[in-house]
Structure 1
Amino acid sequence: MSTRGINFLHKWIANDIPETAPPDAVSIGELTHKLLADAKAVGIKRIELDEDVDSLYRIFVEAIAHFDAGIPE
């Protein structure tokens, strides 16, 4: 993944995954679609997000599972 892709993904997850997002296939599919549309809008191609990521699905599941509101990273 490019540095630009990594930075975008981390910021997007922090800002765009609702704290109440369920880790189900439909919700994660919608999040993936929104991520890719937002990335495209700022000129980031999917290849920049996919290069070193096994699965965007897995990244979203982990992000949702480890989300803990109010605890700083």
Structure 2
Amino acid sequence: MSTRGTNFFDRWMAEHLPGVGTNDPAALSALTDQAMEAAHREGIEVAEIYEEVGSVFEAIAKAMQHREASLADEKVHDLLAARLAREARITEEQAGDLIERFGTDWDSLLNEAHFLKELEGRLGQE
């Protein structure tokens, strides 16, 4: 793929995919058509994009799957942080930090959260 084709396709996906919330093949096909029409309007030959990507449809579908997995991971992280904050009586920011540092094992998170709360209590007494 030419640098011009790569840059166009990456930019197009960054501008158009975040607002799309579907993996419906018909919708992905429409997105593929839109991308190719936009490339044509900018004077970029479809061959410049197909050389590296092969299937624009598949590239868009993979990008959507990756995005949905990332959004799901983020949602799970947020839900877990909220639960940990509630149960351990720490802030959601502290809970999020603990999840980032120690992973998602619930018992470990509770232990660390209680340790943090106890440490804050001791520091507050001094």
Greater CA drift, 50-59 or 2-11: 50-59
Does the aligned pair in 2 maintain the 1:28–1:60 contact within 8 Å? yes
**d(CA) in 1 for partners of 2:20, 2:46:** 26
* Alpha-carbon distance, 1:35 to partner: 0.3
* Alpha-carbon distance, 1:37 to partner: 0.7
State the number of aligned residues.
70
Which amino acid is the alignment partner of residue 51 of structure 1? Answer: E
Question: Greater helix percent: which structure?
Answer: 2
- Structure 1 or 2, whichever has the larger Rg, is 2
Alignment of 1:7-22 (within 5 A): 7-22=7-22
**d(CA) in 2 for partners of 1:42, 1:54:** 20
Greater CA drift, 60-69 or 21-30: 60-69
Which amino acid is the alignment partner of residue 10 of structure 1? Answer: D
Aligned CA RMSD, in angstroms, stands at: 1.7
1:49: which partner in 2? Answer: 49
Structure 1: gaps (5+ residues)? none
Indicate the SS of the match to 1:23.
coil
Greater CA drift, 9-18 or 60-69: 60-69
Q: Percent identity?
A: 31
| Higher relative contact order (CA closer than 8 Å, sequence separation 6+) | 1
Structure 1 length as normaliser, TM-score?
0.84
Which amino acid is the alignment partner of residue 35 of structure 1? Answer: A
Structure 2 length as normaliser, TM-score?
0.51
Matching of residue 38 in structure 1 with residue 55 in structure 2:
no
* Alpha-carbon distance, 1:31 to partner: 0.3
1:27: which partner in 2? Answer: 27
Structure 2: gaps (5+ residues)? 75-126
Indicate the SS of the match to 1:66.
helix
